[in-house]
Amino acid sequence: MDFIGRLRARASRIRPRVAFPEASDPRVLAAVEALHVAGIVEAVLVAGGDDIDALDSLRSRGVEVVDSRRDPRRTRVAADLMSVRGPKGMRPDEADSLSEVPLLFADDMVRHGEVAAAVAGCATPTADVIRAALWLVGAAPGVRTVSSAFYMATRPFRGREDEVLTFTDCAVVPSPTPEQLADIAIAAARDRRRIVGDEPVVALLSFSTHGSAEGDSIERTREALALIRRREPRLRVDGELQADAALIEAVGRRKARESSVAGSANILVFPSLDAGNIAYKLVERIAGATAVGPILQGLAKPCSDLSRSASTDDIISTAAATALQTQDIAV
């Protein structure tokens, strides 16, 4: 079974409730139907427009549909918005109006444990998805940076088995500081244990390997490494490493013989959003890798962001990965 098959099978064993607040998008409706039939997650559609009547067929087959315009929990959503945004200037009438927005309503359901997670983004800009999650769910304890990861399922390149690499951050933080790089790496390691189920091996990528060059970005990477080692002393992490040294054993032996990460990394932490986003698209399009994500990481509870070009299959896989984020796994 390939990574996507394993992902969906493992998610079906826990089958959490997951909210989908983009009920007017046909890709979402097709994904929800497939998720429901396959039993991968217990999907909850949150609708807030004239599309509510069009959902009767899904409702008749057992999919829960919530009308955010008429649901009495709108009062609670407005109160929650005022509690977090009132001090920032939000007025009660604004909170009341926003309380019927399906994305905000769904994230408030996550906040109160009525669903375990939410998945949105194929019809909503990333900035709006992240803003809603930060307002109503917030960052995980000890985390100040919400970031993202793609799980790249690739052909075998260092053995007989297919590989799954975590690429982070590819969608959220443009120019991470050392503190943000540390948050990104630690969050990626925690979620890899949940989503892939193996032990994280983290490489902080650069154009330099262990002092072969100097520069501001290299210094940021070194500072991030020191922070990670202080915060997570048991995490297998190293940097700065060039990509070939991080991934290929023979190259790692030449360039960083003493490294416990060189040649065996499965999490690649990029020094900038430019580098991460370019790399994942190149690997996807040229090398034929399958990209699952972006998966938001660092939140107190899972709220995933979809690419606006996401296919129905992409939504299903992202929902499965998000379901696995709900697991309580020691990190």
> CA 323, CA 7: separation in Å to the nearest integer?
9
pLDDT at 330 > cutoff 50: no
Predicted confidence band of residue 276 (pLDDT cuts 50, 70, 90): very high
Please tell me the predicted confidence (pLDDT) of residue 56.
79
Q: Is residue 101 domain-shared with residue 219, that is, in the same domain?
A: no
Give the residue-averaged pLDDT of 184-200: 95
For 74-96, the pLDDT digits (tens) are 999 999 999 999 999 999 999 99
Residues comprising the chain, all counted: 331
Predicted confidence band of residue 50 (pLDDT cuts 50, 70, 90): low
Q: Is residue 48 domain-shared with residue 131, that is, in the same domain?
A: yes
Please tell me the predicted confidence (pLDDT) of residue 329.
52
For 109-135, the pLDDT digits (tens) are 999 999 999 999 999 998 999 999 999
Check: CB of residue 147 under 8 Å from CB of residue 170.
Answer: no
Domain that holds residue 117: 3-138+301-325
Q: Has residue 32 been placed in a domain?
A: yes
pLDDT at 300 > cutoff 90: yes
pLDDT at 52 > cutoff 90: no
Q: Has residue 291 been placed in a domain?
A: no
Q: Has residue 296 been placed in a domain?
A: no
Specify the 3-state DSSP secondary structure of 79.
helix
Q: Is residue 277 domain-shared with residue 315, that is, in the same domain?
A: no
pLDDT at 21 > cutoff 60: yes
Residue-by-residue DSSP string for 172-223: S-SS--HHHHHHHHHHHHHHHHHHT-S--EEEEE-S-STTSS--HHHHHHHH
CATH assignment at residue 224 = 3.40.50.10750
pLDDT at 247 > cutoff 80: yes
Count of the separate structural domains present in the chain: 2
The predicted model scores a pTM of: 0.90
Q: Is residue 316 domain-shared with residue 218, that is, in the same domain?
A: no
Check: CB of residue 264 under 8 Å from CB of residue 290.
Answer: no
CATH assignment at residue 122 = 3.40.50.10950
Nearest residue to 230 via CA among 297, 299, 142, 147: 142
Predicted confidence band of residue 236 (pLDDT cuts 50, 70, 90): very high
Please tell me the predicted confidence (pLDDT) of residue 308.
86
pLDDT at 273 > cutoff 90: yes
pLDDT at 163 > cutoff 70: yes
> CA 147, CA 168: separation in Å to the nearest integer?
8
Lowest mean pLDDT across 72-76, 139-143, 250-254: 139-143
Q: Is residue 306 domain-shared with residue 274, that is, in the same domain?
A: no
Q: How far is CA 135 from CA 47, 88, 92, 124, 254, in A?
A: 20, 11, 15, 16, 47
Q: Is residue 66 domain-shared with residue 194, that is, in the same domain?
A: no
Tell me the torsion sign for CA atoms 191, 233, 175, 246. negative
